[in-house]
Amino acid sequence: MQNSPNEAAIFLTTDQFYASITIQNFVLGTDGLLKLESTMLSAFGVPSPYYINSELMLNYLSTIPVSLPVGNYSITASLVGLDSTDLTPPVSVVRNFSFIAPTVAAPDFNPTAGTYYEPQQVAISSTTDSVSIYYTTDGTIPTSASTLYTGPISVNTDMTIKAIAIRNGWNDSPVAEAAYVIVYDPVLVVDPTTLNFTDIDSVQTFTVSGYYLTAPINISCDNVNFSFTPTTQR
């Protein structure tokens, strides 16, 4: 007598398998019965032990999809007499198998991590359906107590986003992270941009300022022209 699933098989709770039993040189209902013993039988609304007395019932068994909660399971299939007593010598086979929870796919970031020259709107997603995504931007590991992702995150300055995807009944995803560097071009502001001298003793005032500067502002004069660095002006 042989049966499926294989010994020590592992299934995800999202999987389905079909149990099958092959019996040789034994006619159910004539030579005896097939006795099934397992706690999983309650999932099919039948008691344990459960007796099968015909090939038709046995074939029907193989058409029922099996999908169970997380746990370890065992099923014993035995051939017994018509009075349900064990054969001599006993004929039985035992299969042990497990159902485990699947793992949520790690979050993806769009755009991907990198250096950008303008602010970004970062979207987070997972290829697993029906997940909730939680994230942090302070370097801590995200959990279900972190900020729930509801829409793109505004990244206006250097930022590292860490995210996790969670689905009920599944293992949490691995933590994914993406580091963004935002670089702004330096801007020099000169006001006014033109000076008008009416005579040699006249005085003109101007202001020079800037932002996103990577070096001090330098001003030089050759009695006629002024020059400024950085040279980017607005």
pLDDT in tens, 170-190: 999 999 999 999 988 777 777
What pLDDT score was predicted for residue 102? Answer: 96
Over 50: is that where the pLDDT of 232 sits?
A: no
What pLDDT score was predicted for residue 233? Answer: 44
- Mean pLDDT over 128-155 rounds to 97
Say yes or no: do domains 2-100 and 108-182 share a fold.
yes
Cα–Cα distance between 207 and 204 in angstroms, integer? 10
pLDDT digits over 24-40, tens only?
A: 899 999 999 999 999 88
Dihedral pair phi/psi, residue 204, rounded to 5°: -120, 145
Q: Domain-by-domain residue ranges, the chain?
A: 2-100, 108-182, 187-229
**156 pLDDT tier (thresholds 50, 70, 90):** very high
- The count of other CB atoms within 10 Å of the CB of residue 168 is 7
- The answer to whether 211 and 197 have CB atoms below 8 angstroms apart is no
108-182 is classed in which CATH architecture?
A: Sandwich (2.60)
**So what CATH class is 2-100?**
mainly beta
**80 pLDDT tier (thresholds 50, 70, 90):** very high
- Mean pLDDT over 154-163 rounds to 97
- Mean pLDDT over 32-61 rounds to 89
Cα–Cα distance between 231 and 234 in angstroms, integer? 10
